[in-house]
Chains A and B, each alone.
Chain A
Amino acid sequence: MNELVRFITMQDGPNRTVAIGVGALGVACGMVGCFALLRRRALLGDAVAHASLPGICLAFMLIGERNLPLLLVGALVMGVVGASVIGLLHRATRVKDDALIAIVIGSFFGLGVVLLSVIQRGPSGNQAGIQGFIYGKAASMVRADAITISVVACVLVAMLFALFKELRLVTFDSDFARGLGRPVRALDGLILAIICVCTVIGLPAVGLLMVVALLIVPAATARCWTESLGTMVVLAGIIGGVTAIVGAGLSAVLPAAAGAGGSTWPTGPMIVLSAGSVFVVSALIAPRRGVIAGLVRHHRAKRQILARVRAERVGAGAGAGPGGAA
């Protein structure tokens, strides 16, 4: 417990790096995720994440070494390609969006795994830690990574705040925005680009399988508690940041605490599970949108209606009674 507190309060050097990195990531992903969630782009983040694997592999094959920023540029390029393929197929075919996303996730990830085996057989011999992008490896985060993530996260958050009014307009009613003369396609593209960047900077820490949860879970959690988009974005940022740091802290501290025989607890899954449990609790106990509140409301309404029915029946009986007696 003490160790977890020490991690969260960032008292040790290496842990501080990881905590700052995943914290910044969690804040940015949580805030951006609100727009992804409300614009019904939740699964698009997943498609971008999966599509990034062949990009990472190709970038590695081209430059021949593990240079994180360049690998992430490769990831971003292929992620955008994957998202564009979905957009193109949406316009060119009659296949529905969910099917298109499934197609892109499967085939791009398949291509990535094939390229991964090519790299393994190639001259460099090992996979140079590329497999770390699949499940994530936050513990291997170095100072420069944390700084890069934090800077990118700050830029994204600043963009969200500056353009909040326009993003809300386009996300709520794109036809009306177009009627006002707003370049809706450009704004939509900007939202997509922000989602892509967020996804890609999350890859090294939580991995491409789980990074979509970092986007969506804090946003969905925040939505339980508020009816205002501004509050929701801030709340999702806080939830994303805190659950990321707590999750990473748990993964760093747990082996010693639980005596798990030297094997470490994976960081990405711990972060996602932390966020997931906060969501489950929120979905249950949130005051207006929660499951329990809904059940109570439903029960109360039923009782009120029955009481009114009974009152009417009694009233009718009382009205008829004296008449019958006379």
Chain B
Amino acid sequence: MNAPALELHDLTVAYEHRPVLWDIDLTLPAGELVAIVGPNGAGKSTLIKAALKLVKSLSGDVRFFGQTLREARHRIGYVPQRESVDWDFPVSARDVVLMGRYGRLSWLQRPRRADHAAADAALEAVGMTAMASRQISQLSGGQQQRVFLARALAQEAELYLMDEPFAGVDASTERAIVDVLRRLRDNGRTVIAVHHDLQSVAEYFDRVVLLNTRLIAAGPVAEVFTPQNLHKTYAGRLTQLDAAGEAMRTAVQPSGASGPAPGVSILGANAAIEKGGA
């Protein structure tokens, strides 16, 4: 068995006075699709950013494949939130994807033929070949997300950290992204993604991390993605939905590991109401 893709020990992060992540201990094995799930402000994005040292942590030790960030950097791909950049910036989709190759290039080095080939392959994988020379503001939200994903693919990493890759994308883009993620997993890669839609967790992911400042639970979806754990994760915010919670409990438990299809649709409804109320 290989070293785990990501290990966090005693990770604590605070913004000003407010703790965002509280003493997180987490080990995620390689070769799986992992969802990080939790209410707004639960520290999901912060977990990814703290692991990559994009935000400062008060304490904690982070290992990727048993290595430090510095040693493992070239093995890690990162997909930031789409809103984090100015999409009116004067670059083409291909330029952005080519940035995924910069980790292999020195400061003064121009992209080589192999880098251009890798960028083109990544664009192809997300179905954006036809859009490659478009300036990025001329792309739809879903296409922009695909470009970000293609840039990460061009990194040819072993572990991908993705901040809400499904946020605000259309149905066809969502399917395209899921296909890409599955192909990555089938090639032995690991994907850890912040995910908002409870309804699709069981369908898309192998493993789930339930987070609300503290780590509530982490493990295979079939074992961990239970009504009890979700109640703990969305504590307080779901109290008015106890009736719905009761319904999903009865729906999930008999079907067990094989796929709680009727239950998740109720979960999805819960999540929608919770979002609206927050």
Contacts and interface: CB of A to CB of B under 8 A. Distances in A.
B102 A38 contact: no
A172 B73 contact: no
20 contacts: A165-B102, A166-B102, A168-B91, A171-B89, A172-B86, A172-B89, A172-B96, A173-B80, A175-B78, A176-B80, A178-B52, A179-B76, A180-B103, A182-B102, A227-B92, A227-B135, A228-B90, A229-B90, A229-B91, A229-B95
Contacts of A178: 52-54
A38 B90 CA distance: 9
A163 B73 CA distance: 22
B110 interface: yes
B172 interface: no
A162 B105 CA distance: 13
A131 interface: no
Contacts of A228: 90-92, 95, 135
Contacts of A138: none
Nearest to B74: A181
Nearest to A39: B86
Interface of B: 49, 52-54, 70, 73, 76, 78, 80, 84-86, 89-92, 95-96, 99, 102-103, 105, 107-108, 110-111, 135, 151
A50 interface: no
Interface string A178-193: 1111100000000000
A163 B151 CA distance: 20
A13 B77 CA distance: 58
Q: Which of A162, A178, A227 has the most chain B CB within a 10 Å cutoff?
A: A227
B103 A181 contact: yes
B107 A181 contact: no
B79 to A, nearest CB: 9
A161 to B, nearest CB: 10
Query: Closest 6 CB pairs between A and B?
Result: A227-B135, A179-B78, A180-B103, A181-B73, A229-B90, A173-B85
A165 B105 CA distance: 10
A168 B90 CA distance: 10
Contacts of B108: 162-163
A165 B115 CA distance: 14
A232 interface: yes
A226 interface: yes
A182 to B, nearest CB: 8
Contacts of A38: 86, 89-90
Interface string A226-267: 111101100000000000000000000000000000000000
> Quick one: which of B73, B78, B90, B95 has the most chain A CB within 10 A?
B90
Please classify the interface of chain A as helix (H, G, I), strand (E, B), loop, or mixed, using the class held by over half of its residues. helix
Given A163-B107, A178-B54, A173 B70 contact: no
A182 B78 CA distance: 13
Contacts of A165: 102, 105, 107, 110-111
A81 interface: no
Contacts of B99: 169, 172-173, 176
A180 B95 CA distance: 16
Contacts of A223: 90
A155 B105 CA distance: 23
A176 B90 contact: no
Contacts of B49: 175
A166 B99 CA distance: 9
Nearest to B103: A180
A175 B99 CA distance: 12
Contacts of A227: 90, 92, 135
Q: Please indicate which of the listed interface residues A38, A172, A232 has the most CB atoms of chain B within 10 Å of its own CB.
A: A172
A169 B103 CA distance: 11
Contacts of B135: 227-228
A310 B102 CA distance: 52
B107 A166 contact: yes
Contacts of A226: 90
Nearest to B70: A181
A163 B107 CA distance: 7
A107 to B, nearest CB: 27
Nearest to A229: B90
B159 to A, nearest CB: 12
Contact of B73 (A166, A175, A180): A180
A223 B90 CA distance: 8
Nearest to A183: B107
A319 B76 CA distance: 60
B84 A173 contact: yes
Contacts of A175: 49, 54, 78, 80, 84
Contacts of A180: 73, 102-103
B92 A176 contact: no
Given A177-B102, A228-B90, 18 more contacts: A38-B89, A163-B107, A165-B107, A165-B110, A168-B91, A169-B99, A176-B99, A178-B54, A179-B78, A179-B80, A180-B73, A181-B70, A223-B90, A228-B135, A229-B89, A229-B90, A229-B95, A231-B90
